[in-house]
Amino acid sequence: MISHHTATRRRVGATVAMALVLGGCTRDEHRGQGGDPSGPPPAASLPEAGPSASTEPPAACPATGVRIRSTGGDAAMGLRALDLELVNCGERPYQLNGYPVLHVFDEAHEPVMLRMVNGAREITSGFDQPPRKVTLAQGERATAVVLWCNLVTDSTVVATNGEFLTVAPAAGQPAEDVDPDGPIDLGNTGRIGVSAWKKATT
């Protein structure tokens, strides 16, 4: 019997493969790197889903009532995709209507200045569905996908590697540390994209 987590990850992998066919990572002019001068929000605690080998009991539910993790990544032809999962572990319904908020840090835990793209139009195709209101009952899940290209287009610009990632459900909400499942190897593209939250159906 195929587990729920395995089936979900296969669906995400198929979506990423289709994205490569439709768009993929293409060379373009380097547009420079920007960033949020206000800096990242504080992390609330120190990855659609993959199996876990851990036998430890689940961590206590954060005060926010939701838990965010990554559930594995895929990489092909320079396109990177990291699956995110948000679980309502609280006792009340939880509402989403937008995009996760990401902050990337280097190996010294210093913020990496990047341009965050809501959707993935500048990166690949197939992840630009607009946000919709999502209401999660206790135990229900929402998913999103983080996307970037490992692409070097300008030899005069140092390639960027992120080592740590925090994710907040929305702007102004507490962020959680999320395992990026490897380096966030952005080349010198200076940007990272994320799809809107959508309710997991299984």
pTM, whole model, 2 decimals? 0.72
58 within a domain of the structure (yes/no):
no
DSSP string computed for 119-150:
BSTTT-SS--PPP--EEE-TT-EEEEEEEEE-
Neighbouring residues of 14: CB distance < 8 A, sequence distance ≥ 6:
none
Give me the domain span that covers residue 81: 4-26+35-50+64-199
Q: pLDDT tens digits for 19-38?
A: 443 455 754 433 333 333 34
57 within a domain of the structure (yes/no):
no
114 within a domain of the structure (yes/no):
yes
39 within a domain of the structure (yes/no):
yes
Indicate the number of domains in the chain. 1
Residues 168-190 have a mean pLDDT of: 93
46 within a domain of the structure (yes/no):
yes
196 pLDDT higher than 80:
yes
Peptide bond into 49 cis (omega under 30): yes
Q: Which pLDDT score, from 0 to 100, does residue 74 have? A: 83
Q: pLDDT tens digits for 107-149?
A: 999 999 999 999 877 788 777 789 999 999 999 999 999 999 9
56 within a domain of the structure (yes/no):
no
10 pLDDT higher than 50:
no
Distances (CA, A) of 112 to 7, 59, 62, 103, 108: 34, 28, 26, 8, 10
